[in-house]
Structure 1
């Protein structure tokens, strides 16, 4: 990243440098450990397969879409970032997008645009997002703990598969994890209630497995 002009001092706008690195044709893009400021949106496209940070973070990111995945030739992974300062990731890609070993984004920071998008989460802590109809989410070691009384995420007709969803015993703040939406109505449901995950899916939580069908619409 530094080779393309990124400064990483938390105040210099690195948007152009990061986009230049993405468009360089390289399959793997590294963000050295630093705090980056992106005043615009970086489009992850072309030949990129992996974007890797080193506990890298972003400043001045509250409410901004930092990265939009769109038009990659391959499935792409975004790994080892912290979003303590806010920021959003937008999936508008025909290929799957993997978010791995990251904290955040939170507060509607996971955005899915278009139909038939496919997310993978691995060792991710995030919450307060909506999965629209046709979306698929496969996740393992997914930490989704919202502040009460809100749901961790809203499943609006998506298919969700989770392996390793922590539900601490006696911890009331983890009770409402999923809001299942259909036909303008909604219901808060607790895993391993199969209604949280859509049709034909399997959810493994706290050593228990639940398999269920769609809610009637």
Structure 2
């Protein structure tokens, strides 16, 4: 029996991700030493000097298991953003967090509404859990919230909104988001992904923290 016949059906639906070539590969192929890689959305400014100091300080302790729930970090973030520690979840990057959300809320046959195109991992985590991605085409390169609302039905469990959107860089304003949220059934959870929020130069974009503090159905 082939191994794939034993895999979960949701896993078999996922399309393979093909990453861009590394700088080292391109240098070897083309013989050019100076390259700037834009495909991975990496911060070319590098890490904070304070972060480097903190990492060096902890190097002697890397043989120890880390604290899984990250209580110290959760406490610091809760104090910084003035929210309860119970509202803070630490993950190993965005992909891991999105999978955690799907694990927690998406059952077999549930529908998950998202834009098209947007961050591909939304589709992946939905399919892994046996859910059905409902794709809504962008309008003028941004989320068409009215059309997304029309796709919400009794089977809808989550709505993913990437703000700013990956890959278009467009934003959903607070005004647009307020109207959308007011019309959305309370049983549907919105996942507002602000992974690139710090790079947005438009201050009118919706910010999830404001809604979380008000007890809205939002992650």
TM-score (norm 2): 0.24
Q: Which has the larger radius of gyration?
A: 2
The structure with the greater share of residues assigned to helix is 2
Higher strand share: 1
